[in-house]
Amino acid sequence: MEYNVGDYVCVNIKGHTPWGWFIAQAIKHFTHSEYDHAFVIVGADGTIVEAKPTGAEVSNITEYAGMDMKFYTYPIPGKMRKAIADNARGFVGVKYGFLDIVYLGLTANGLKFKWLLKKVLREDRMICSQLVATSGVKAGTRLWLCGKADPQLVTPADLAKLADQYTLESSHAYIREEAN
C-alpha cells in the first residue's frame, strides 16, 4: 500500500506494555477520546515519525497493523506535504512530554495552571499530538491547530475530531459531485 506523505493518523493503540497501557488509558480518559496516539506519515512506504515515551522516532505504520486507525484525508498541496514531513523528521530525538499529558488532561477537564502552561508551550518535549500539530502548523496548515491557540495544546482527541470533520466533508463533496 502507498501512503500520502504529510498526512497524519490517529490510532487506538491500547498500549503494548503495562506502562504503555497506563499512558494510553490516561490520554483517552483525560482527553475524552477513543484515540490515544497520532503520528505523521513521512514516507509513501509507511515510514512515520511519532512521539513515544522513549522520545520521538522514525518507525513504520505496520507497527499498528490491525489497530483502529483514523486517517486525515483532506487534500494538502505537494510542497506543504513535504514541509510537514520534513518538520516531523526534525523532531526525531525530542524527549517525551509526560507533564504535557497532565496539563492537557487537566485543561480538557476545565483546570488551568499558568505555571504548568509555561512548561508545555515548548518544543523540547512533546507528546504525539503536539508533534503532529506542530509539524503541520510550521508548514502552514493552520487547521491542525484544531481551534487551539498553540499546537502544543492539541490532543489526539482534537486531531481525531478534525480528521472526522474533513473526512465527512470530503465524503459529502464526493457524493454531491456524483449526484450531478
**How far is it, in rounded angstroms, from Cα 31 to Cα 171?**
27
The parts of the chain modelled with pLDDT lower than 70 are 14-20, 29, 167-180
What local confidence, expressed as pLDDT, does residue 130 receive?
95
Distances (CA, A) of 116 to 16, 100, 103, 104, 112: 29, 9, 7, 10, 8
**How far is it, in rounded angstroms, from Cα 25 to Cα 21?**
6
Beta carbons of 120 and 103 less than 8 angstroms apart: yes
Burial of 139: CB neighbours in 10 Å, binned 0-12, 13-18, 19+: buried
**How far is it, in rounded angstroms, from Cα 139 to Cα 145?**
12
Instruction: Calculate the dihedral angle through the C-alpha atoms of 21, 23, 24, 25, rounding to the nearest 10 degrees.
Output: 80
**How far is it, in rounded angstroms, from Cα 38 to Cα 80?**
19
Beta carbons of 107 and 157 less than 8 angstroms apart: no
What local confidence, expressed as pLDDT, does residue 147 receive?
94
What local confidence, expressed as pLDDT, does residue 13 receive?
82
Q: How confident is the model over 3-24, as pLDDT tens digits?
A: 999 999 999 886 566 666 777 7
What local confidence, expressed as pLDDT, does residue 173 receive?
36
Residue type, 179: A
CATH number of 8-179: 3.90.1720.10
